[in-house]
Amino acid sequence: MTDSAPLNPDHVLIRQFLERPEQPVSLDSCELATLLRAKIVTFDASTGSLGLVFDPPASLLQGMGVLQGGIVSGMLDFAMALATLARLPLNRACATVSMNVNFIRPARLMRYRAVAQPDRLGKSLAFVKAQLLAEEDNSLVATATSTLALADRG
């Protein structure tokens, strides 16, 4: 790692949240996170479980008034990558290698909570799982598993 290598902006936001976990942190590190109005809201250090909330806009609805599947997948991917980053030192980074998503019910226009937890962090790979829940009734909307590559940044 070189001192000039920039920090991952998501890693910076996670560290900001971990310093004051009672205060949600908005993800403004990329346009999609901003569009989804994503916020980090919980972290359980004992399990590595990280919680995010999303409030997607109506512009992301398709067909029968449901969120496009890529958007649902994106919310789960954000949660799994951020849960992984929360467990990594600042000199490490991660990138999704593969992801499997199961859509349980239609994702209507509402606020969502994603909860992700790493199952295993190795030297070069992380294995992570996540759930997407409708905030209004805590119903399960989708689940996902992911493999992420881990590497030194810079």
What's the confidence (pLDDT) of residue 5? 59
Instruction: Tell me the domain boundaries of the chain.
Output: 9-152
What's the confidence (pLDDT) of residue 58? 95
Task: Tell me how far apart the alpha carbons of residues 109 and 131 are, in angstroms, rounded to a whole number.
Answer: 17
What's the confidence (pLDDT) of residue 6? 65
Pairing mode of beta strands 112-121, 125-134: antiparallel
- Evaluate whether the domain defined by 9-152 bears CATH number 3.10.129.10: yes
Tens digits of per-residue pLDDT, 25-68? 999 999 999 999 999 999 999 999 999 999 999 999 998 899 99
Q: Which residues contact 15 (CB under 8 A, 6 or more apart)?
A: 90
Q: Are 25 and 40 in contact (CB under 8 A)?
A: yes
Cα torsion 30, 76, 132, 84: sign: negative
What's the confidence (pLDDT) of residue 153? 79
Let me know how long the chain is.
154
Q: Which is more confident, 73 or 7?
A: 73
pLDDT greater than 80 at residue 4: no
Q: Are 27 and 86 in contact (CB under 8 A)?
A: no
Confidence of residue 1 (pLDDT cuts 50, 70, 90): very low
In the predicted model, what is the mean pLDDT of the chain? Answer: 93
Tens digits of per-residue pLDDT, 110-128? 999 999 999 999 999 999 9
Q: Is 42 helix (H, G, I), strand (E, B) or coil?
A: strand
If phi > 0 it is left, if psi is from -120 to 50 it is alpha, else beta; for residue 74 that is: alpha
Tens digits of per-residue pLDDT, 74-102? 999 999 999 999 999 988 999 999 999 99
pTM: 0.93
